[in-house]
Amino acid sequence: MIKVLIVDDEKIIRIGLKMMIPWEQHGFELIGAAEDGVAAMALVEQYKPDIVITDLKMPRVNGLELIQKLKDMPVFNGKIIAISNYGEYDLVREAMKLGAIDYLLKVTLKPENLLDILNNASSQLSTEKQKKEMERKKEVSMKRQA
């Protein structure tokens, strides 16, 4: 199961995302929802999610700061998906520069779009895992030959 964390300061959005798709049927485990970046960091340390879906405009620690912090965390090797409102293009562009793999617009969010992006993130994670495993096996065999 791919573990997913939702981060948004609007309770209605957190609830909406939770209810939007049957997570487990699609191979995802929703590990929780946080109302800001501070709460999200604690959940990331505790549950080590594979995917973080984060709003960009939030109090205390906003989405851009959260993305930066996640990239600096040794326990987080996952993917980040940004969610935003219309008119936040500069924030979305900055999020992508910081490492978000995609973004969703809150107003036009449809279950199939969310699933497409989650599946894309999942396949990227799988490819990276396979690559790391191949590199590890290669290192082991080189050490044996030495």
User: Which domain covers residue 58, as residue numbers?
Assistant: 2-145
List the CATH number of the domain containing 51: 3.40.50.2300
Note the pLDDT tens digit of each residue in 84-138. 887 778 889 999 999 999 999 988 889 999 999 999 999 999 999 999 999 988 8
Q: Output the CA angle 125-131-21, nearest 5 degrees.
A: 15
User: What does the CA dihedral 32, 108, 60, 3 come to, rounded to 10 degrees?
Assistant: 20
Rounded to the nearest 10 degrees, the angle between the axes of helix 89-98 and helix 63-72 is 0
Note the pLDDT tens digit of each residue in 3-40. 999 999 999 999 999 999 999 999 999 999 999 999 99
- Say if CB 30 and CB 77 are below 8 A apart: no
Task: Report in angstroms the alpha-carbon separations of 84 from 61, 89, 106, 137.
Answer: 15, 9, 6, 41
Global pTM reads: 0.90
DSSP-assigned states of every residue in 40-87: HHHHHHHH--SEEEEESS-SSS-HHHHHHHHHH-TT---EEEEEE-TT
Domain count, the chain: 1
